[in-house]
Amino acid sequence: MKRILHNFYSCCGDESGTSAVEYAFVAFLISTVAIVAITEIGGHVSGMYSSVNEGFKGNQ
């Protein structure tokens, strides 16, 4: 029983992979924010080009 508890506590105390998980989480958050921002900006730019295009069609 003591050996099982010792193995359990030694496994819980190991933090060698923690920084890799944190970096992966930060990369995920940054990529998610970038995708949302590009999607929103893309919609606005598309609408702006459409209005410019309509303005050119009206002047012909």
pLDDT in tens, 1-57: 777 767 666 666 666 667 888 899 999 999 999 999 999 898 888 888 888 888 888
Tokens of 22: 């944190």
* Full-model pTM: 0.54
Tokens of 48: 């702006």
| pLDDT value of residue 11 | 63
Q: Give the start-to-end residue ranges of the domains of the chain.
A: 19-60
Q: Amino acid identity, residue 17?
A: G
| pLDDT value of residue 8 | 65
| pLDDT value of residue 20 | 83
| pLDDT value of residue 56 | 83
| pLDDT value of residue 13 | 62
